[in-house]
Amino acid sequence: MSAASEAETRFEREDTRRRWLLSTPALLIILVAAVGPLLVVLLYSFLAPGSYGDVRWQFSSDAWFNVFLERDIFDDTLAPAWAHLSIFWRSMKLAFITTLLTLVFGFPTAYFIATRDERTREIWLFLITIPFWTNLLIRTFALQEVIRQEGLLNTLLLKLGLISQPIPMLFTDFAIGLGMTYVYLPLMVLPLYASMERIDFRIVEAGYDLYASRFGVLRRIIVPLVKPGIIAGSILVFIPSLGAYVTPRVLGGGKSMMLGNLIELQFGQGRNWPLGAALSIALMAIVMIALLFYVRNASRGGPTHG
Amino acid sequence: MARSFSVRAQPGFTTVALICFFLLYLPIATLVVYAFNAGTSIAIWEGFSLRWFHQAWNNSQVIDASIRSVQIATAAAILATICATMAALATTRTRAYRGLTAKYAFINAPLMVPEIVTAVALLIVFSRVKIATGYSGLGYLILAHTAFCIPFAYLPIRARLEAMDLSLETAAADLYATRWQAFRRVTLPLLWPGILAGLMLAFVISLDDVVITEFVKSGGQDTLPTYMLGQLRRVVTPEMNAISTVFLAISILIVTVFFFISRKRDV
Q: What is the pLDDT of residues A13-69, one digit of tens each?
A: 888 888 899 999 999 999 999 999 999 999 999 999 988 778 888 898 888 988 888
Domain count across chain B: 1
Are A190 and A132 within 8 A, CB to CB? yes
pLDDT at residue A306 greater than cutoff 60: no
Adjacent-strand bridge partners of A56: A48
Distance CA A171, CA A5 (A): 70
Q: Which residues in chain B (172-191) have CB-CB distances under 8 A to chain A? A: none
- Between the two ends of chain B, the Cα-to-Cα distance in Å is 38
CA dist., res. A209 & res. B118, Å (int): 53
The pLDDT of residue B140 is above 70 = yes
Say how far apart CA B53 and CA B236 lie, in whole Å.
14
Cβ-based neighbour number of residue B240 at 10 Å: 23
Query: How many Cα atoms are found within 13 Å in the side-chain-facing hemisphere of A47?
Result: 20
What integer is the mean pLDDT of A232-238?
Answer: 92
Taking only the tens place, the pLDDT of each residue in B99-138 is 888 888 899 999 889 999 999 999 999 999 999 999 989 9
What three-state secondary structure class fits B70? helix
* A195: pLDDT strictly greater than 60: yes
| Interchain pair B116, A142: CB under 8 A | no
Answer yes or no: is B30 within a domain: no
CA dist B80 and B144 (Å) reads 10
Give me the total of CB pairs closer than 8 Å, taking one residue from chain A and one from chain B. Answer: 257
Q: What are phi and psi of B143, to 5 degrees?
A: -60, -45
d(CA A15, CA B95): 11
B21 within domain boundaries: no
Residue B237 lies inside a defined structural domain of this protein:
yes
- How many separate helices (H) and strands (E) can be counted in chain A? 15, 4
User: What residue spans define the domains of chain A?
Assistant: 3-77, 79-305
Residues from chain B that touch A201, judged by Cβ atoms under 8 A, are 7-8
Q: Give the pLDDT mean for B165-183.
A: 85
Rounded mean pLDDT, A162-191:
92
Q: Does A278 touch chain B (CB under 8 A)?
A: no
Chain B residue with minimal CA distance to A140? B27
Write phi, then psi, for A58 (nearest 5 degrees). Answer: -155, 130
Instruction: Determine the structural domain holding residue B131 and report its residue range.
Output: 60-263
Of B98 and B18, the one with more pLDDT: B18
CA A196 to mean position of chain CA atoms: 22
Instruction: Taking residues A179-204, report their average pLDDT.
Output: 92
CA atoms of A207 and A188, how far apart (whole Å): 27
The model's confidence at residue B2, banded by pLDDT at 50, 70 and 90, is: very low
pLDDT greater than 60 at residue B234: yes
CB contact under 8 A, A29 and B79: yes
Q: What is the pLDDT of residue A239?
A: 92
The answer to whether residue B160 is domain-embedded is yes
Mean pLDDT of A284-290: 92
Per-residue pLDDT band at A237 (split at 50, 70, 90): very high
Task: For residues A231-238, give the mean pLDDT.
Answer: 92
Beta-carbon contacts of A96 under 8 Å, excluding residues fewer than 6 positions away, are A238
Q: Coil, strand or helix: which one is A19?
A: helix
Query: To the nearest whole percent, how much of chain A has pLDDT over 70?
Result: 96
- From A280's Cα to the closest Cα of chain B, the distance in A is 6
- Which ipTM value was assigned to this complex? 0.88
- According to CATH, what is the number of the domain A79-305? 1.10.3720.10
* CATH number of the domain to which B250 belongs: 1.10.3720.10
Rounded Cα distance, B49 and B33, in Å? 11
Q: Does A181 touch chain B (CB under 8 A)?
A: no
B106 touching chain A per CB within 8 A: yes
CA dist list (Å): B217 to A175, A249, A280, B143: 29, 19, 20, 12
